[in-house]
Amino acid sequence: MDVDISLSPKVNSLKPSKTLVITDQATALVQAGVPIIKLAAGEPDFNTPVVVAEAGMKAIRDGYTRYTPNAGTLELRSAICDKLKEENGISYTPDQILVSNGAKQSILQAVLAVCSPGDEVIIPAPYWMSYPEMARLADATAVILPTRISEDFLLDPKILESKLSEKSRLLIIGTPSNPAGSVYPRKLLEQIAQIVATHPRLLVLSDEIYEHIIYAPAVHTSFASLSGMWERTLTVNGFSKAFAMTGWRLGYLAGPQHFVSACGKIQSQSTSGACSISQKAAVAALGLGYAGGEAVVTMVKAFKERRDYLVQTFGELEGVKIFVPQGAFYLFLDFSSYYGTEAEGFGLIKDSGSLCRYLLDKAQVALVPGDAFGDDTCIRISYAASLSTIQAATESIKKALITLKPVIIT
Ligand code: AKG
């Protein structure tokens, strides 16, 4: 008998995460012997700090290998409360924290918990590609608000104001942002908060996963710390990026208990509590000191050196528009002047997707096209790789681009 292989309409309409797809393809090519340089993944190239890894190993040796409470251990939730108070100026109690298997799970659960069918999720573009798909999973509508490179890819409060309605349920702000690396200044967040305050149904999801990867003079502000915003804000953070702990899978949500419990209900019926070993490691990570102490400072210094190198190198390239990122570890470059050019032996480069395919083919560098982030003019380069790898990649990219003539409109 034939098996019915049909899938649900919801999954049929869902796009897979392009960063993960491209990274997996690049890894497969490397395994097959093709020397691809992978600058696609949003994953620090550093090892987890030794003290943190040791804490995980100790947890295993001590037999700390059983289920934890669904919301996470009290030890970790208390440490998260201390961190949020001291570093972010936001007060929570442990029952207002939900530890999950990564910030991604925290965001999805929040979207599922608060959105009803037909609600709108407001997302500034360029956006982290999973936000609109998560809205889709909640039967909500993603409302994309474009930003401009000339305005540092920051949301214009006037545009926000004009797009809000009764249907608006959730505004997602990532700061520092992925893919642009924009950091929302406090003043701008205050303007946004004033608008949010006039819409009783509107909540804010503040994605702060890149909080510690920030370059002075930029300063991180937590949305929940703004006047009147605590009640409406769901703060998401995690350990993957700052502490180089992507594989440990650990994130958290902080917010009013009513919302946190709702997210906990979803988690209790899906994944249950996060990994016990990772939670012990996370307590050690929070014990490294203010904002991750020396271990994080060292990584951020390396990221900044790479950012500066890339900004200078691409700055010398004809037709490329650059926003200098203030945080995270991506450069989101406007290559649109190269669109419309014909590459020998390849064909027409017409958009960010074809440019990335061309660069994979000719330069053997894996990058992510901007269309995946809602901005087809750009492509994303992750500089979570050693400086020598980045130097080799940029040389290759420049060589591949030199044969193309950008169309410069003056
Ligand atoms: C990115 O590459 O943008 C990431 O955040 C990697 C992790 C993910 O997409 O789940």
> Residue 179 pLDDT more than 70?
yes
Measured over all CA atoms, what is the biggest interatomic distance in the chain, rounded to whole angstroms?
A: 66
Residue of 17, 368, 373 to test ligand 1 pocket, by largest number of atoms within 8 Å of CB? 17
123, pLDDT greater than 80:
yes
Share above pLDDT 70 across residues of the chain, in percent, rounded to a whole number = 99
Residue 408 Cα to ligand 1 midpoint, Å, equals 32
Using CA atoms, how far apart are residues 244 and 42, in angstroms rounded to an integer? Answer: 11
Mind giving me the DSSP string for 326-395?
SBSSEEEEE-GGGTTEEETTTEEE-SHHHHHHHIIIII-EE-EEGGGGT-TTEEEEE--S-HHHHHHHHH
Q: Whose CA is nearest to atom 1 of ligand 1?
A: 42
**Is the shortest distance between the CB of 17 and ligand 1 below 6 Å?**
yes
Distance 42 CA to ligand 1 centre (A): 5
Q: Is the CB of 178 under 6 A from ligand 1?
A: yes
**Bond prior to 176 in cis (omega within 30° of 0):** yes
Q: What is the pLDDT of residue 404?
A: 85
How high is the pLDDT of residue 409? 66
Q: How far apart are CA 43 and CA 63, in angstroms?
A: 29
Is 41 touching ligand 1 by the criterion CB < 6 Å? yes
- Cα 167 → chain centroid: 25
- Supply 15's token pair: 């796009």
Residue 216's pLDDT band (cuts 50, 70, 90): very high
Residue nearest to atom 10 of ligand 1 (CA): 104
In 108-202, where do the E strands start and end?
Answer: 120-125, 141-146, 168-174
pLDDT in tens, 371-395: 999 999 999 999 999 999 999 999 9
Is 42's C-beta closer than 6 angstroms to any atom of ligand 1? yes
Of 205, 153, 155, 211, the C-alpha closest to 328 is 211
**What ipTM did this prediction achieve?**
0.96
**19: CA distance to ligand 1 center in Å?**
6
The finding on whether 221 has its CB within 6 A of some atom of ligand 1 is no
Which burial class, exposed, middle or buried, applies to 162 when counting CB atoms under 10 A from its CB (0-12, 13-18, 19+)?
exposed
pLDDT digits (tens, 9 = 90+) for 33-65: 999 999 998 999 999 999 999 999 999 999 999
- The DSSP symbol for 255 reads -
> With 80 as the cut, is the pLDDT of residue 401 above it?
yes
What's the whole-number mean pLDDT along residues 298-302? 98
Q: Residue 17 CA: which ligand 1 atom is closest?
A: 9
Cβ neighbourhood burial of 20 (10 Å; 0-12, 13-18, 19+): middle
Name which residue sits closest to atom 7 of ligand 1, judged by CA. Answer: 42
Per-residue pLDDT, averaged over 222-248, amounts to 98
Position 1 scores a pLDDT of 84
Stretch among 242-256, 325-339, 367-381, 395-409 having the lowest mean pLDDT: 395-409
Place 410 in a pLDDT band, splitting at 50, 70 and 90. Answer: low
> Mean pLDDT throughout 10-15?
94
Tell me if 350 sits within 8 A of 377, measured CB to CB: no
